Structure 1
């Protein structure tokens, strides 16, 4: 979904106000004082000041404390906490707590609970236990939002609104079914149109009355994939509809404050392109597994994706952990320095807010072993010292807020593709979409190439190279967009399982990949997935080299394309495996097999060189480099000279962030360097970064030059 430029400017002004009020980068986390006696609250406020906290999220799980029974409200305790925060100079991100309907509401309306596909009902005792289509749930949560808006919109501590929490429950119950039917009637003009889109003639599933159309509950065997795809779309849309209703309630009371909800890492249920367009900022909950040596690479992908959802606008880390994360089966704590490094990584990739879950570690409940800014042992701990040190450092980075990253490479990431590709009953039902995207992202991350993510509706002209990993579902309009991009001089890299189906999840006929056959100049007559037990085939490349492929191959024919690599073993020996086609002013590469990592890196390196794309700075393996640059204030509606404006006059601020993800020191040449905003010292030439070390170098450049490097304000 595209975002209206006026909406972007309005959101930008709200975010400017937020960061001016906070004095720079937002720092803090979820605060749940209702879990603690009142005598702890004052201690918390003083410790927050010590830690440099300037923003806390309140009331996320507090519905049962705020509305103690039907229409009986108790706001006194929240009034006191809001006042206490204001007295200590701490802003509040106030949440509507409808992620946790209270027990009294569930007792009165048990059908609020969502149903599973098999017809069983969720039990009370966790979170997200609601069917968002239930009219009473909607009525009650909107009424509570209205009460909170009326009461707190003018409170001096209020800095922003936080709607719900990690939206996500899917229900197959009667209320969802009714809403699904209404959604379908808005989408399809008639049952004939629905029957055609869903291919219901297959297996005799033709509908003759709208009341026959139901949610795709548990079938005997396989279920209609087009129907299931539409149910994915409906589920995301129905939750978004409720978010927008709450947002609009709060907007009436607080027109100048940002309103967001929190997204989750690699979360499949909601189409975050559509969601981000309705918020003032994208906000992410990110919990890398400390056991994974390269967890920061998957985190980087999520950071770049979150930044891209609102066309490069700075985003928020809404939740992360200081140490251990209770969701993992083995609850390993982050090593010293990793929390700081991960926070700076998010900043390097466009975040202007570093928040945690949560402030004080719970002593009971499900998340009692989830680390916090203040852990069970209290403030005299390694983690709290790290929290305080980071809080003090971030105070020196206020000028970085509002700056943006520039990318000349884009990767296509699309929820429709994700949903359609993983419905099962396909040639390779074990394929994981996010892992395919990560395979193509990793070589770019390792090469320090800044990456944007785009979807089928995005403008592509700003990019020198666009990559399409497993872009399984493409509409006719999207296929035409990518074709025009190449024709106009762009470079396109397409992987297997792209362009296979249309918007209805119907196979495109005439050879794979049907939607892209023309621009690729090649087509496959048959898919040949390989066995999952390590089966490989050999490849020979145009330059005389050898390689291999596993997991996936295709019987490919080159039409107008040149062959870059062919199969040299197996049933496809002699057939093309990788092609490059000249099309108009540009080129398109098709990788029809899952080639080994070394060959994939070589292919992408070749495309980067041909596209003239270079890293921000040459750096050794494991050292990440990103640049954030202030754009022309007039382009973004900035107030000249304020925090996050990029300054005034002819000079624009530019920041080079250098992060050592290695557990040993690394040497890097920062060339002309700049002033390290963390230490305040000038840095230039070759420097040694300690293990997990970070530099934030402020560069000074001419505004015209920096704007040229950064490209357009939004793509």
Structure 2
């Protein structure tokens, strides 16, 4: 039975292909706007994001609105079969507002109010700013919700940052009162008896400050949660007038690459479709594996947090202007990078920006149309070629990524780990560790979800739990049941150390998973950058690979409590003690890795064995060359296998014995498939996921 998600918009049941369009920058030159339409059609672009930073053009003075230019732009798009994600302009407010209402300006942690400027330099709690946003968004909704060009709302732009003004202090206290109910409960959760920091009045509670309180970890963690929740609340405030006029028009927020300040898993609950902005730093090294796997991980997060296809809202068709080195995309990389997003679940490919600005900070950021203003450029040809490809693969639209493996990643665990003092204050490397484990699955072509502790574990055969320092009791119980029911779990060092309040477990680490894993973690040793140890596989171990693998940075001293020892430490006073263990529990099995192994070959061998044991299906039953990955989308009748070459050189892939066709050309493919430098191909076969 075929299963597909419906298109993001029924108006445009094909892959969306387009860019951020800023016509307000060119209102002085109508010829440019006319030429834009012609070039959009030539590039195969069918959608534009319009009005993202247009507040000053829409409301040049308080209460004076000018929608005429936007009427003309949207009418012109509609007349030419081009659609629009219409933006709310709250990402940057006009100067008249900052001058008349200084309370809208953000206050930093040092309690100093900012001047006007930049983006998102405003308070999400300010009553005045919320009122002005409601007025603007209400007028946009009344005027454009039924416009034939509009397919959805692009709400604000890349939300982020925090404010410490008096409004936000009161909002933080109210948030804490709702969460804890009483000061006694808050004091217990924050362990405020430490350093005599006990609160005796709610008015004493403030946000963390560099010249005040910064060392109460529960306090820091709750502030980050509050900032995330308050931003989500502001987003809900933004969409209220939009939904009041047309509740069926989808709303999205463009998110960012593993952004630190907001819990996107919680944010996703409030949006209709997830979108994000991806800017890989291609061509840093001979092989693109490190960058490609990092962005694959991000794509999989943004698909998993809504459990359906997402949108690539921004990418660059050539180069950025803000990376340390702004490299041009080499031939083939634009297609490869864009199809990577599609392979992991994107139903759009969109760019920042359509036409390069003449001035200001982004005038050298990549665009479909360069300053020269015509189509005779390499970048424009790359975009047009991709437009043709997207028009040929419409049957992939709405298909799922059938993942049987998952990596667990939580934002509050991330915040807690990075706030921990010890065992390595030079950096615990949580994010890098998570992606290192994920990369081993990606290299072997294993469709993988990136889940949170509140997600359903039942659909998976293998769950990877890297550095789950903050681990709730309930999550531990659910993971234990996952193993009991036949799942395979792999957890690492620095797991099950604290609860949701960042309070240490007193029953021995790894806390709720001690019995599941069959080990007790007594100590953790932080290694200097020059220190080395090694993991030595036991002879004839059940994982069926041997060798010695270099360890750096972190070594946990553990004792088995029923678990089988698969590998031991080579050096130091804990030489010969367990470093890799396996505990059989119920119908499943739980592995524990007690140290940070540096060598990629170890993870390749380990996960090769785990996916085989767990029966996790790969996108392609074939050996993949180093740097080539296979990714999969499926509708239950047809599988679509994306072969993507990030190796930095030409490569060959030998197909398995199933029947394949090239989705773009219809050519039958057997035996070896040649992939040129930065090459990519989409193969279709009968589904194995029926």
Whole-angstrom CA distance in 1 between matches of 2:397 and 2:305: 18
Cα gap change, 1:290/1:627 in structure 2, threshold over 3 Å: closer, same or farther? closer
Cα gap change, 1:211/1:222 in structure 2, threshold over 3 Å: closer, same or farther? closer
Whole-angstrom CA distance in 2 between matches of 1:247 and 1:187: 25
Q: 1:409-448, aligned counterparts within 5 Å?
A: 409-429=405-425, 430-448=427-445
Whole-angstrom CA distance in 2 between matches of 1:252 and 1:700: 44
Q: 1:26-45, aligned counterparts within 5 Å?
A: 26-36=16-26, 37-45=29-37
Q: For the Cα contact (< 8 Å) 2:297–2:435, is it kept in 1?
A: yes
- Equivalent in 555, 558, 564 of residue 557 of structure 2: 555
Q: 1:471-620, aligned counterparts within 5 Å?
A: 471-531=468-528, 533-543=529-539, 545-597=547-599, 598-617=601-620, 618=622, 619-620=624-625
Cα gap change, 1:89/1:491 in structure 2, threshold over 3 Å: closer, same or farther? same
Which stretch shifts more, 332-341 or 595-604?
Answer: 595-604
Whole-angstrom CA distance in 1 between matches of 2:284 and 2:413: 27
Residue 689 (structure 2) aligns with: 706
Residue 660 (structure 2) aligns with: 674
Cα gap change, 1:221/1:228 in structure 2, threshold over 3 Å: closer, same or farther? closer
Residue 683 (structure 1) aligns with: 669
Which stretch shifts more, 600-609 or 299-308?
Answer: 600-609
TM-score by length of 2: 0.94
Whole-angstrom CA distance in 1 between matches of 2:41 and 2:172: 49
Q: How far apart are 1:205 and its partner, in Å?
A: 1.0
Cα gap change, 1:26/1:76 in structure 2, threshold over 3 Å: closer, same or farther? same
Residue 543 (structure 2) aligns with: none
The reply to whether residue 402 of structure 1 matches residue 398 of structure 2 is: yes
Q: For the Cα contact (< 8 Å) 1:500–1:515, is it kept in 2?
A: no
- Equivalent in 286, 297, 301 of residue 305 of structure 1: 301
Q: How far apart are 1:497 and its partner, in Å?
A: 1.2
| Residues 261-285 of structure 1 deviation map (CA, whole Å, 9 limit, x = unaligned) | 1110010111111111211211110
Residue 151 (structure 2) aligns with: 159
Whole-angstrom CA distance in 2 between matches of 1:479 and 1:63: 48
Residue 327 (structure 1) aligns with: 322
The reply to whether residue 627 of structure 1 matches residue 632 of structure 2 is: yes
Residue 648 (structure 2) aligns with: 663
Whole-angstrom CA distance in 2 between matches of 1:361 and 1:206: 55
SS at match of 2:481: helix
Whole-angstrom CA distance in 2 between matches of 1:663 and 1:291: 9
Q: How far apart are 1:222 and its partner, in Å?
A: 4.6
- Equivalent in 208, 214, 227 of residue 235 of structure 1: 227
Residue 5 (structure 1) aligns with: none
Residue 207 (structure 1) aligns with: 199
The reply to whether residue 48 of structure 1 matches residue 40 of structure 2 is: yes
Q: For the Cα contact (< 8 Å) 2:130–2:237, is it kept in 1?
A: no
Q: 1:110-121, aligned counterparts within 5 Å?
A: 110-121=102-113
SS at match of 1:688: strand
| Residues 185-220 of structure 1 deviation map (CA, whole Å, 9 limit, x = unaligned) | 111111111111111111111111111111111145
Q: For the Cα contact (< 8 Å) 1:499–1:516, is it kept in 2?
A: yes
Q: How far apart are 1:426 and its partner, in Å?
A: 2.8
- Equivalent in 168, 183, 187 of residue 179 of structure 2: 187
Residue 7 (structure 2) aligns with: 16
- Which consecutive unaligned segments of at least 5 residues does structure 2 have? 540-545
Which stretch shifts more, 167-176 or 539-548?
Answer: 539-548
Residue 653 (structure 1) aligns with: 638
SS at match of 2:347: strand
Q: 1:116-265, aligned counterparts within 5 Å?
A: 116-219=108-211, 222-265=214-257
Q: For the Cα contact (< 8 Å) 2:404–2:617, is it kept in 1?
A: no
Residue 542 (structure 2) aligns with: none
Cα gap change, 1:85/1:612 in structure 2, threshold over 3 Å: closer, same or farther? same
TM-score by length of 1: 0.91
Cα gap change, 1:706/1:526 in structure 2, threshold over 3 Å: closer, same or farther? closer
Whole-angstrom CA distance in 2 between matches of 1:364 and 1:384: 21
The reply to whether residue 360 of structure 1 matches residue 371 of structure 2 is: no
| Residues 473-497 of structure 1 deviation map (CA, whole Å, 9 limit, x = unaligned) | 1111111111111111111100111
Q: For the Cα contact (< 8 Å) 1:673–1:685, is it kept in 2?
A: no
The reply to whether residue 388 of structure 1 matches residue 384 of structure 2 is: yes
Q: How far apart are 1:369 and its partner, in Å?
A: 1.2
SS at match of 1:610: helix
Whole-angstrom CA distance in 2 between matches of 1:513 and 1:676: 48
Q: How far apart are 1:548 and its partner, in Å?
A: 2.8
| Residues 108-144 of structure 1 deviation map (CA, whole Å, 9 limit, x = unaligned) | 1222222222223333221111111111111111221
Cα gap change, 1:624/1:431 in structure 2, threshold over 3 Å: closer, same or farther? same
Aligned positions, number = 670
SS at match of 2:393: helix
Whole-angstrom CA distance in 1 between matches of 2:577 and 2:639: 49
Q: How far apart are 1:166 and its partner, in Å?
A: 0.5
Residue 454 (structure 1) aligns with: 451
- Which consecutive unaligned segments of at least 5 residues does structure 1 have? 1-8, 632-651, 708-715
The reply to whether residue 697 of structure 1 matches residue 680 of structure 2 is: no
Q: How far apart are 1:699 and its partner, in Å?
A: 2.7
SS at match of 2:399: coil
Q: 1:69-88, aligned counterparts within 5 Å?
A: 69-88=61-80
Cα gap change, 1:71/1:420 in structure 2, threshold over 3 Å: closer, same or farther? same
Cα gap change, 1:609/1:706 in structure 2, threshold over 3 Å: closer, same or farther? closer
SS at match of 1:422: helix
SS at match of 1:92: strand
Q: How far apart are 1:324 and its partner, in Å?
A: 1.1
Which stretch shifts more, 416-425 or 347-356?
Answer: 416-425
Whole-angstrom CA distance in 1 between matches of 2:265 and 2:161: 18
Cα gap change, 1:291/1:689 in structure 2, threshold over 3 Å: closer, same or farther? closer
Q: For the Cα contact (< 8 Å) 2:423–2:524, is it kept in 1?
A: yes
Whole-angstrom CA distance in 1 between matches of 2:408 and 2:316: 29
Whole-angstrom CA distance in 1 between matches of 2:494 and 2:418: 12
Provide runs of 4+ in structure 1 moved above 6 Å: none
